């Protein structure tokens, strides 16, 4: 659990049950130095806004490319800080769907077979006998009845 969450739980204990901060810290197991710590980091509102603008105008840019653009604009910033802010804002590059899936998406959803001889499937399988001969088997299946009326086996000369 992060220290900020532990501090929030300790604050809740103090508010709800009226216990001292010392007892709340002991129960939640927070160091009292953590409890009294005040961050001096300046809020980077302008930087966050600029990162979001770049990410919205160029959705294919990741944190490293955004860092390069910010450096060109004159921001004295480290790539690790850009990555942390990029991640904290919930930004991430969208991954392209592979082409093989795009083609499958363009086709309509397959309708289940409603009756006999409505839809057929076929598959080609290959195997090898103990003496090294290669066999090819073509199986055809009726999708409705799940019966294979035809199975053709042949010796294959090439692979």
Condensed to tens digits (0 to 9), the pLDDT of residues 44-64 reads 899 999 999 999 898 888 899
Condensed to tens digits (0 to 9), the pLDDT of residues 13-27 reads 999 999 999 999 999
Report field, pTM of the whole predicted structure over 0.75: no
Backbone phi, then psi, for 120, in 5-degree steps?
-120, 150
CA neighbor of 127 nearest in space, from 117, 139, 143? 139
Per-domain residue ranges of the chain? 3-36, 45-88, 120-156
Side by side, the strands of the sheet bearing 150-156 are 120-128, 134-142, 150-156
**pLDDT above 80: residue 101:** no
Of the chain, the percentage scoring pLDDT greater than 90 comes to 42
Condensed to tens digits (0 to 9), the pLDDT of residues 106-132 reads 656 677 888 998 888 999 888 888 988
């Amino acid at each position: 659990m992060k220290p900020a969450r532990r501090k929030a739980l300790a604050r809740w204990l103090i508010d709800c049950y009226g216990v001292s901060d010392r007892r709340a810290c002991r129960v939640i197991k927070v160091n009292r130095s953590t409890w009294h710590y005040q961050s001096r980091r300046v809020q980077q509102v302008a930087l966050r806004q600029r990162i979001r603008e770049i990410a919205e105008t160029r959705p294919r840019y990741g944190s490293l490319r955004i860092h390069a653009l910010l450096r060109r604009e004159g921001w004295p910033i480290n790539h690790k800080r850009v990555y942390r802010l990029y991640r904290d804002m919930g930004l991430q590059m969208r991954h392209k769907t592979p082409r093989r899936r795009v083609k499958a998406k363009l086709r309509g959803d397959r309708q289940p077979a409603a009756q006999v001889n409505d839809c057929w499937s076929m598959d080609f399988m290959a195997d090898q006998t103990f003496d090294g001969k290669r066999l090819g088997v073509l199986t055809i299946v009726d999708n409705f009845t799940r019966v294979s009326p035809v199975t053709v086996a042949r010796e294959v000369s090439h692979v």
